[in-house]
Structure 1
Amino acid sequence: MTKLTSFAFVGAGGYIGTFVLSAFLAQAPNSATLVVLTRNPNNVKYPRRVNVAKVDDYDDIDAVADIFSQYKTDVVISTVGYGGFQAQRRMADAARKAGAVKLFVPSEFGSPTDGAPDEYPSFQEKDKIAGEVFASSLHSTPFKGHVLEYIESIGLPWARIYTGGFINRAIVSVTGVRVNDKINIIGKGNTPVSFTFEEDIAGFLAYVFTSLNTDRLSNRIFRLEGDRASLRDIAKWYDKEVAYVDAIPGPGSELRSMLSRVFESGAGSTGWNFELEREGEGEEAAGSANKLWLGHRWKGIKDIITRL
């Protein structure tokens, strides 16, 4: 029944990390402690209220643990990109060593990853990190054996945040619309996909982590959804021609194409269950966590994007 008052951010200078830190600055009480861990403290000028802790080497578990201890950290929030996923293992070990960390939030912020199949290797990497370090969904059978032993030994509570695609980024990126002015689709494009506005994602984190007790946050998956649309819906809304393709055009085609296949399969919904190959229900449904942000109006795609 403990409230959380001290928050450490890793990856705060990245895309979604900047939104998250801004939301905590806006919502966290003045008594809350906010600390950013960074290798390059001079690269970003943070507000005076933010404590900046220089980390020379994230492999130095003792040094990172000392930072968590110094600031009496309750929550470690990771918003690192793909290249930083592996470092989260060391961060978790540092959190355990510090002793007082009550919650670790790994970098998810996308579609569901628990139990992801082999065709989505980057999703598997997220799930493996979250599983090995924090907890594994019961669906994550490839990691179930040694995972539960590790969890039992470190006793580090976790929270995973599924958001679907970022409204400002995913629609442009996954459709390749900026390349040929068309909504490029692998498959039929009729499958509904979850999308959430970046500021709503960050605001939700700041609200629940500063308002709710730990018993409502620990060892839970939070499924957000600001809007729900198929790629064909989006093409119609913005009067764009549809192109059915084998690969999404433009830079990063391999990743864009993988995400397009995710959307087509149904796994772009934050309620997707890989084991059952269908949408979840109740607390496992897309957008089921939205209600925790009391009184908030979630913005949709057409609220944010006026033209493509």
Structure 2
Amino acid sequence: MSELHSFAICGSGYIGSFIISAFLARDSPPKLIVLSRNPKSKNYPPQVTVVRVDDYGDVDNVARILMAHKIDAVLSTVGYGGIRAQREMADAAKKANIMLFVPSEFGSPTDDAPNEDEDTKWRSLEYINAIGLSWAKFYTGGFINTALYSVTGVRVNGKINIIGKGQNPVSFTLEEDIGGFVAHVLTSLPLSSLSNKIFRLEGDRGSLQDIAEWYHKEVAYVEAIPGPRSENLSMLSKVFESGAGSTGWSFQHGREGKGCSAAGSANKLWQTHRWKKIRDVITSL
């Protein structure tokens, strides 16, 4: 049984809406608050309390909010541009004696990733560890409803655009499945099974070449993914090409992990669930 009964969601990121919906769908929904710089930017369910936070750098104020609402765990769903703010969120969580912090790791593995940028997810986790705050990370791979379209550039030219060969397997998970899993484990597992643990999900698995074959699409070998956000999507395509698109990837060993470090190894924790496959959701590209 989980000791976590109240949660604060920081940021109104894309995946956050699926996590909120999944929490509210539980038989006994936990207490939820959302911390947002712009509370009116989207409509939240009436069961959710939305609290305006103008500056996460005001650690004392954020900590007071968390304590006033008696929050047990903090979840960050910020996008790439908000990664640095996670350190300030973590400081506030530590000051408020929060039991668990979930950083925004909803994607490919980041442990020991070869990037010296101080704003990376891995640097954020180093900081969270350094201040002695317990954490849980969720590696999900690409979001099925968005990644297939964005990283392939298929909507730009009708082709599966590939940087490299596109033969390495990539993990993909449906957004609703991600939200459901996060809500399930955080409200059912004891804190000892959550603290400083990595949960590796995988709803489906396939290379970019596989995707081209499944949907009968021509492959275009390119140096950059065409269309908007080309730089970011090209970087993600290169991650896929390196093998690190699998949720079981280990940068330290340069290969896939095994056992509890394997892609999809955490799926078994949601025993009653049927994970959606790519072709269950997307019938054509």
Normalization by structure 2: what TM-score?
0.96
Match of 1:171 in 2: 148
Structure 1 residue 41 corresponds to structure 2 residue 18? no
Structure 1 residue 127 corresponds to structure 2 residue 122? yes
Match of 2:90 in 1: 92
- Deviation per CA, 1:238-280: give whole Å up to 9, x if none: 0000111111111111111111111111100000000110000
SS at match of 1:264: helix
Give the deviation of 1:121 after TM superposition. 5.4
Cα 1:160–1:28 shift into 2, 3 Å: farther
Match of 2:232 in 1: 255
Q: What is the 5 A alignment of 1:286-305?
A: 286-305=263-282
Q: Does structure 1 retain, via aligned residues, the 8 Å contact 2:13–2:77?
A: yes
Q: What is the 5 A alignment of 1:1-308?
A: 3-11=3-11, 13-27=12-26, 29-30=28-29, 32-99=30-97, 101-118=98-115, 125-133=120-128, 135=129, 151=130, 154-308=131-285
Query: Runs (4+) of structure 1 moved beyond 3 Å?
Result: none
SS at match of 1:190: coil
Give the deviation of 1:204 after TM superposition. 0.3
Larger CA deviation: 37-46 vs 49-58: 37-46
Q: Does structure 2 retain, via aligned residues, the 8 Å contact 1:194–1:226?
A: yes
Cα 1:262–1:234 shift into 2, 3 Å: same
Match of 1:142 in 2: none
Q: Distance in 1 between matches of 2:185 and 2:251?
A: 27
Give the deviation of 1:28 after TM superposition. 5.9
Cα 1:185–1:2 shift into 2, 3 Å: closer
Give the deviation of 1:2 after TM superposition. 5.2
Q: Does structure 2 retain, via aligned residues, the 8 Å contact 1:28–1:210?
A: no
* Structure 2 letter corresponding to 1:160: K
Q: Distance in 2 between matches of 1:262 and 1:3?
A: 37
Q: Distance in 2 between matches of 1:193 and 1:57?
A: 37
Q: Distance in 2 between matches of 1:49 and 1:175?
A: 38
Q: Does structure 1 retain, via aligned residues, the 8 Å contact 2:171–2:247?
A: yes
Q: Distance in 1 between matches of 2:263 and 2:117?
A: 23
Q: Does structure 2 retain, via aligned residues, the 8 Å contact 1:163–1:225?
A: yes
Q: Does structure 1 retain, via aligned residues, the 8 Å contact 2:225–2:233?
A: yes
Q: Does structure 2 retain, via aligned residues, the 8 Å contact 1:23–1:202?
A: yes
* Structure 1 letter corresponding to 2:186: F
Match of 1:143 in 2: none
Q: Percent identity of the aligned residues?
A: 65
SS at match of 1:34: strand
Q: Distance in 2 between matches of 1:111 and 1:48?
A: 33
* Structure 1 letter corresponding to 2:31: T
Report the aligned-residue RMSD. 1.5
Q: Distance in 2 between matches of 1:190 and 1:121?
A: 28
Cα 1:165–1:121 shift into 2, 3 Å: farther
* Structure 2 letter corresponding to 1:63: N
Aligned length: 285
Larger CA deviation: 258-267 vs 19-28: 19-28
Q: Distance in 1 between matches of 2:99 and 2:209?
A: 43
SS at match of 1:184: strand
